[in-house]
């Protein structure tokens, strides 16, 4: 494991609690990237120095910490300008990266699908393009490690025109991905299959909840950004309605804008959902701040009008009479995705939330039309089903989306 020194500037408008939580999160990011935190140092100042980010004395202290611990990497818990990054690199014998580059590095290491790798590479190149001066030399001198995964030194040492051309290619590939996803969404809409999407702060337990809901075994780890590539599974609600549930990449404060832009094709799963399941770690002392971070990112994605069910997770670690450290609006539910506690209550709430978007229907279906009957049992919420022997018809009462084709056809027949 590489040895890491974590550094940060705490500005005047930042509270101690917020700064401490951000530093602890940065430590988790380093561990996720495969590093070991040897020391942490902070500096209180109104704002970062425009040239070296830190003051001269702190820069000297950082250099001494690198020498003392034999550190390989210095991680700045903020975003460095190209000038600041170059200045700090020349003043230390370690690789200097910022929080954004650390997150991008983790994404590069964890991307498994072709789509994920394209999105990460585009985000990295977008971030690195204005920082190319001196990068090739630094990477050649220091070799691989945290902050160097992804495009690699060979691409960074080529000219800007080549890199810009590569970025254009990646954008075209993402455009094709978006087109493919749009086709899939259209097919899903024609099948009247509602979409639920899991959103939440990184490591809130979204993938574990997906497994609990669908009885699947998607890989879930106690690490930041354990899920990077999107995952969708089928599910039946208590009424028998067939729906789809998608997992998404976890949000985090200070999520790089380049990453949001590159992952927009994936995050469209969020904007196109019928209902969002906002998963919150109910045991986190920063649950309120994490909730607000998610809400801010949902706003950037244009998803604020989508109904949300708040899922307070990890109740296996809560005392019975404990009060959650977060304010949430209804509808919400406590669950333990790990122990499958209250999953039935969540499923019932999901169905109730869909009914709010549907219209009531009452129709008669001939017993001979088994195909339509089967379809309605899967694509609508049937609350009452009675077979009328004298007419050999099924009377169905329930809820469906207003554009359901079979409902419209049989409603017309009943009215004739």
Binding-site residue positions for GTP? 200-207, 225-229, 247-250, 336-338
CA dist 210 → 155, 193, 305 (Å):
38, 17, 23
Query: Mind spelling out the 3-state secondary structure of 32-64?
Result: HCCEEEEEEEEEECCCCECCCECCHHHHHHHHH
Q: Check: CB of residue 130 under 8 Å from CB of residue 84.
A: no
Interatomic CA distance for residues 203 and 224, integer angstroms = 5
Residue matched to tokens 């942490």: 40
Q: Check: CB of residue 227 under 8 Å from CB of residue 233.
A: no
Detail the residues annotated as belonging to a binding site: 200-207, 225-229, 247-250, 336-338
- Residues 6 or more apart whose Cβ sits within 8 Å of residue 222: 203
- Written as six digits, the tokens of 189 are 């809409």
Detail the residues annotated as belonging to a binding site for Mg(2+): 207, 227
Interatomic CA distance for residues 298 and 225, integer angstroms = 18
- What's the half-sphere exposure (Cβ side, CA atoms, 13 Å) at 408? 5
Interatomic CA distance for residues 294 and 393, integer angstroms = 49
Burial class (CB in 10 A: 0-12, 13-18, 19+), 47: exposed
> Crossing angle for the helix pair 264-271 and 114-128, nearest 10 degrees?
120
């Amino acid at each position: 494991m590489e040895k890491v020194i974590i550094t940060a500037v705490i500005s005047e408008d930042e509270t101690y609690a917020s700064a401490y939580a951000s530093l602890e999160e940065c430590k988790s990011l380093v561990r996720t990237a495969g590093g070991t935190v040897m020391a942490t140092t902070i500096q209180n100042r109104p704002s970062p120095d425009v040239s070296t980010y830190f003051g001269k004395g702190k820069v000297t202290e950082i250099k001494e910490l690198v020498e003392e611990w034999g550190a390989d990497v210095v991680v700045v818990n903020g975003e460095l300008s190209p000038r600041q990054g170059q200045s700090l690199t020349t003043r230390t014998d370690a690789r200097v990266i910022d929080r954004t580059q650390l997150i991008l590095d983790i994404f590069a290491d964890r991307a498994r699908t072709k789509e994920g790798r394209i999105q990460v590479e585009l985000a990295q190149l977008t971030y690195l393009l204005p920082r190319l001066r001196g990068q090739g030399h630094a990477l050649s001198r220091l070799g691989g490690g945290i902050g160097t995964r992804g495009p690699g030194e060979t691409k960074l040492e080529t000219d800007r025109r080549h890199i810009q051309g590569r970025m254009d290619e990646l954008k075209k590939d993402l455009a094709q991905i978006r087109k493919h996803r749009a086709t899939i969404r259209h097919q899903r809409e024609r099948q009247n299959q509602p979409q639920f999407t899991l959103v939440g702060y990184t490591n809130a337990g979204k993938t574990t909840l997906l497994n609990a809901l669908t009885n699947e075994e998607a890989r879930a780890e106690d690490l930041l950004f354990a899920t990077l590539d999107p995952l969708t599974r089928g599910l039946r609600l208590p009424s028998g309605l067939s729906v789809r549930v998608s997992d998404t990449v976890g949000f985090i404060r200070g999520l790089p804008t380049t990453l949001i832009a590159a992952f927009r094709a994936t995050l469209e799963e969020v904007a196109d959902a019928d209902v969002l399941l906002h998963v919150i770690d109910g045991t986190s002392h920063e649950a309120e701040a994490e909730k607000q971070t998610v809400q801010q990112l949902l706003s950037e994605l244009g998803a604020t009008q989508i109904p949300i069910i708040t899922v307070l997770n990890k109740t296996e670690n809560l005392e019975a009479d404990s009060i959650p450290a977060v304010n949430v609006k209804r509808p919400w539910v406590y669950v333990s995705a790990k122990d499958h506690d209250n999953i039935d209550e969540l499923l019932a709430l999901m169905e109730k939330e869909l009914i709010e978007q549907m219209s009531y229907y009452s129709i008669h279906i001939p017993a001979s039309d088994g195909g339509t009957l089967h379809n309605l049992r899967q694509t609508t919420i049937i609350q009452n089903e009675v077979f009328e022997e004298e007419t050999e018809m099924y009377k169905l009462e329930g809820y469906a989306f207003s554009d359901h084709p079979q409902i419209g056809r049989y409603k017309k027949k009943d009215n004739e």
